[in-house]
Amino acid sequence: MRALRGPARIGALRVHNDDGAFFAPEDSILELLARMDKVNELAAAIGARGLGHARAQLLGVRFTERTGVCEPELWCQGLLRAEGSGELKQVIEACAEWADGDSVASHYGYGNDLFCTEDRGRSAGRTLTTVSG
């Protein structure tokens, strides 16, 4: 069993794969790029529906706007501005949704026919639809 590469978000934190044993093998850099294009395409489509990484992005922007920060900051920095247990719970749920979306996109990009999960999608209906609302 080997890990799949997912969309690159929030910088360049990557696991080193010097011996080629951690990630699924690639025949060439062109094959990797083609796969990652498919992964990113589906992750963007999931995000366009307010799911996947979009929930975390909206929360981060919302928390930044609330504090009136004048200097530009990345949306992920806004997640650190969650106040109280209720907002922290929202961040945790948004990050779980983000992981779900990226996981599905990665499996699609690698051409896997099956995706097994015990996720019942209970929180999927609680999407954030506005940045400031």
Q: Where are the domains of the chain?
A: 1-133
Query: How far is C-alpha 71 from the chain's CA centre?
Result: 25
Per-residue b/e over 78-100, b at no fewer than 16 CB within 10 Å? Answer: bbebbeeeebeebbeebeebbeb
pLDDT for the residue 132: 37
Determine what percent of the chain is predicted with pLDDT higher than 90: 38
Q: Rounded to the nearest 10 degrees, what angle do helices 84-109 and 29-48 cross at?
A: 140
Per residue in 37-94, pLDDT tens? 999 999 999 999 999 999 999 999 999 999 888 888 889 899 999 999 999 999 999 9
At 124, the pLDDT band (50, 70, 90 cuts) reads: low
Gap between the Cα atoms of 19 and 40, Å rounded? 26
- 14 pLDDT more than 70: no
Gap between the Cα atoms of 125 and 105, Å rounded? 19
